[in-house]
């Protein structure tokens, strides 16, 4: 019985590297198509959403590690850290936006990106 995966464009005789390359190409294509839809919601929304996720993750992580290490901070330092996490999250979100936009525009110029299925969506 021969195992082939249409999603990975697996064909008889493909070696592991060729299968990985096909999978990676289809993954990049899906990410770019998703980005085409995500960017229509706006840069501000994306950056704030990423900053929120970043802040919540870091606050939870350092709370748990502080709990196990026996370290306890006062309320002032908690809010200071939350402000720093939020500022770092804004920076990380902005950098992520720029990175994804660069990849998206490069793919559009190269013609390697298939147009999104819905052309009615117009980015802000």
Q: Which residue has the higher pLDDT, 72 or 20?
A: 20
DSSP 116: P
Q: Which residue has the higher pLDDT, 10 or 90?
A: 90
Calpha distance 98→71 (Å, rounded): 37
Predicted local confidence at residue 9, as pLDDT: 52
Predicted confidence (pLDDT) at residue 60 exceeds the cutoff of 70: yes
Mean pLDDT along residues 18-39? 82
Mean pLDDT along residues 77-91? 92
Cβ–Cβ < 8 Å for 73, 66: yes
Cβ atoms within 10 Å, residue 27: 11
| Dihedral angle of Cα 43, 48, 53, 59, to the nearest 10 degrees | 150
Mean pLDDT along residues 18-41? 83
Here the tokens at position 120 are: 């009615």
- Token look-up 């994306």 returns 46
- Domain assignments of the chain as residue spans, ordered by start: 28-110
Mean pLDDT along residues 5-25? 67
Using CA atoms, how far residue 29 sits from 25, 44, 64, 111, 118, in Å, is: 6, 24, 37, 12, 16
List helix spans (H) across the chain.
16-38, 43-69, 75-110
């Amino acid at each position: 019985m021969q195992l082939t995966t249409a999603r990975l464009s697996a064909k008889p005789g493909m070696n592991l590297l060729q299968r990985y390359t096909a999978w990676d190409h289809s993954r990049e294509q899906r990410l770019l198509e998703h980005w085409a839809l995500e960017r229509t919601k706006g840069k501000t929304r994306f950056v704030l959403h990423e900053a929120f996720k970043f802040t919540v993750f870091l606050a939870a992580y350092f709370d748990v590690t502080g709990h196990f290490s026996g370290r306890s901070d006062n309320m002032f330092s908690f809010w200071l850290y939350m402000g720093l996490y939020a500022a770092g999250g804004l920076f990380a979100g902005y950098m992520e936006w720029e990175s994804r936009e660069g990849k998206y525009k490069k793919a559009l110029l190269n013609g390697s990106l298939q147009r999104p299925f819905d052309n009615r969506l117009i980015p802000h």
